[in-house]
Chains A and B, each alone.
Chain A
């Protein structure tokens, strides 16, 4: 791949005639750290700055930190208050879900992550996988909600923390992906009226911040509904997220549609396929495959953006963190709490972006670039 030319040039090529390992390290160091006086100076400055910053951080997190005791012990210490995390991690992760029923969200998340892991191989992607996902999501919803099979009923407004964040982003993805495809088809299609509708929608949504849509969901949607019909805030926020996400998905899909050779359309027409046959059997499979990496990137963005529901006070992962910080007995440990939550978000987003990189490499195989 061309993109990595420079990086590859920077890395040392493993020599065929093997040096002793120590010699290899020396060559590597010479090449990457000390190739010129300027580089040597830069390396020394950066490395020493790094260790100067690392030292206090390790002190704060590991050496001076408080692992056991009370809030008072924490305030007297200079390091991180890990007691706070131990005290609050259940609340941050699962919100107001009943303590004795916690195995349910834990099992749900485990199932979710395990199945996500299982379906990451492109060779397993099929229509059946989609059905399995829908079944799994229903199962998780039932498990979380309860009310049957002797499970205690837990109303939706008690859900919180990580399960809520995952549900918001995953249902968001599930609905906005097909919507995005339809919008993209409408935008690239030949019917002018439909194209105008689609362009207006996409540009309108992409032009405004997501917060304005969430405000819309929390204050305007109730006014749209006929008398006596009302939806919980969570569902309204979910609709806003889907509306927002589908405009961005549409642009990603459109990129794929634009990259398809005109000859593919003509060939499909020549075979006598109608519009939907042409799109479903010929165009979309190719277009969607091209844009898998940007689709994953958009999904990461959306996963991060679900944290904005904090502004309309839904108890997602970030909101439970903020709520945990308001506990009068444990005031003033925001660093610990935010870093803990940041770590959770980071694990999810980072693994997704690694995955996106891997897919990009896999799919670019054999493509001339």
Chain B
């Protein structure tokens, strides 16, 4: 009798019971699976990854041919997911912050417009929105022959958007490098300036440094390289455009859909974050003579970050996870490539595991990163 009245022992008993239950369930599933795989003659393991993929991928960020391996194809898909994830999150956060702030604007039409946008977008399934944008871009836009050209050199067609790009020249990689160096240098100098500002208690102008490093440095390299300036304009040859650069309708639809959808959620997060800051902070800042923009920029937004960061992290992850809906409109993201791989090789279990592994990697990686950031901006209180 005493065994049942000792909570510790009882706890161990129940845990063992449940653990054994789960183990039996898992064992049964594994046994069934192995049995089924054997009877259907499906090989297990990831050996298939080195086989020839044999399918084309419509847009790639790295060299890929259909006789490359499945592993190579999955890498292409992974990079495509990463591309949508990075660009999409960047735009969705900017749009979200703007809409979130404007929703609290004292200007009635602006606030209501933003509210309407948020309400409509949030209450319609994302996949439906993606299909909508995709059909808008592929059916409503004119055919290649009658391409819409809002700005000379830019063409909007059913097959995608085409715009001029710069003709290759040996100096361009150097200019890009200079731009990158300039940006890094600027961030270093900005942090030094900020320390100086805090020490001296006066504002130091940042923009001369920004202009000099981010615009001046690349421009200097460009001029040294002979200032080449030649556009490669897309031209209609045969059935499609050649030259210039293009965005496929699949990518455009996915990006527009994801950005608009996620930004609506981000806007709500930003709004809640701003509202979480005590009203006294507004009043105090205004009585110090700061204007509206300064109040937001220096007083309210930094404080709201603490409330904003955790849900924003999950929205960033949501966008990456939602980009898997690309499979519904034919953009070759990781899931789409993995799905094709599964269908061709019949390696269902490995395929699903590969998909899950990559997204788990994303989610662990970004929550790690965000936790570090969150720690840095945590409120410093007296303890």
Is B106 engaged at the interface, CB distance under 8 Å to the other chain? Answer: yes
Pick the residue among A39, A219, A349 that contacts B348 (CB under 8 A).
A219
Which size class do A's interface residues fall under?
35 or more
Given A39, A204, A349, which contacts B360 in the complex, CB threshold below 8 Å?
Answer: A204
- The segment from B126-134, B208-216, B222-230, B371-379 found at the interface with A is B126-134
Check A318 against B127 for contact (C-beta < 8 Å). yes
B33/A224 in contact, CB under 8 A: yes
**Chain B CB within 8 A of A271 CB:** no
B356 engages A208 (CB within 8 Å): yes
Q: How far is the CA of A101 from the CA of B126 in the complex (A)?
A: 32
Closest-CB distance, A169 to chain B (whole angstroms)? 11
Say yes or no: A215 contacts B109, CB within 8 Å. no
List the A side residues contacting B120 at CB < 8 Å. Answer: 346
Q: Which of A114-122, A171-179, A190-198 contacts B (4 or more CB under 8 A)?
A: A190-198
Q: Which residue of B32, B279, B349, B363 is within 8 Å of A207 (Cβ)?
A: B363
B36 touches A223 (CB 8 A): yes
Question: A2 interface residue, CB < 8 Å from B?
Answer: yes
Closest approach, in angstroms, between the C-beta of A172 and any C-beta of chain B? 14
Taking CB atoms, residues of chain A closer than 8 Å to B119 are 350, 353
A297 to B162: give the CA distance in the assembly, Å.
Answer: 40
Interface flag for B290 (CB, 8 Å): no
Please tell me the size bucket of the interface on B.
35 or more
Is B335 in the interface zone, CB < 8 Å from A? yes
Chain B residues positioned under 8 Å from A339 (CB to CB)? 132
Q: Are B109 and A10 touching (Cβ within 8 A)?
A: no
A137 at the binding interface (Cβ < 8 Å): no
For B245-262 the 0/1 string (1 means CB < 8 A from A) is: 000000000000000000
Chain B 334-362 interface residues, beta-carbon cutoff 8 Å to A? 335, 339, 342, 348-349, 351-352, 355-356, 359-360, 362
Let me know if A261 is at the binding interface, CB within 8 A. no
Encoded as 1 (CB less than 8 Å from any A CB) or 0, chain B from 6 to 47 comes to 000001001110110010000001001101110100000000
The reply to whether A33 and B327 form a contact with Cβ atoms under 8 Å apart is: no
| Distance of A191 Cα from B328 Cα, bound (Å) | 42
Q: Are B352 and A216 in contact (CB under 8 A)?
A: yes
Residues in A with CB closer than 8 Å to B237 are: none
Contact for B109 among A3, A50, A197, A216, CB less than 8 A: A50
Chain B neighbourhood of A7, CB < 8 A: 104
User: Which residues of B are found within 8 Å of A197, using beta-carbon distances?
Assistant: 18-19, 22
- Which of A46, A193, A194, A346 touches B113 (beta carbons < 8 Å)? A46
Q: Name the B residues within 8 Å of A136 (CB-CB).
A: none
Report yes or no: B123 in contact with A308, Cβ–Cβ below 8 A: no
Complex: chain B residue closest to A216, CB-CB:
B352
Question: Is the pair B29, A224 in contact by a Cβ cutoff of 8 Å?
Answer: yes
Q: List 10 A-B contacts (CB under 8 A).
A: A43-B107, A194-B18, A208-B359, A209-B324, A224-B29, A300-B123, A304-B123, A310-B127, A338-B132, A341-B128
**Residues on A facing B (Cβ under 8 Å):** 2-3, 5-7, 10, 32-33, 35, 39, 42-43, 46-47, 50, 190-194, 197, 204, 206-212, 215-216, 219-220, 222-227, 300, 304-305, 307-308, 310-311, 318, 322, 332, 334-335, 338-339, 341-342, 345-346, 349-350, 353
Question: Which 6 pairs from chain A and chain B are nearest by CB?
Answer: A32-B108, A349-B123, A334-B135, A219-B348, A207-B363, A209-B321
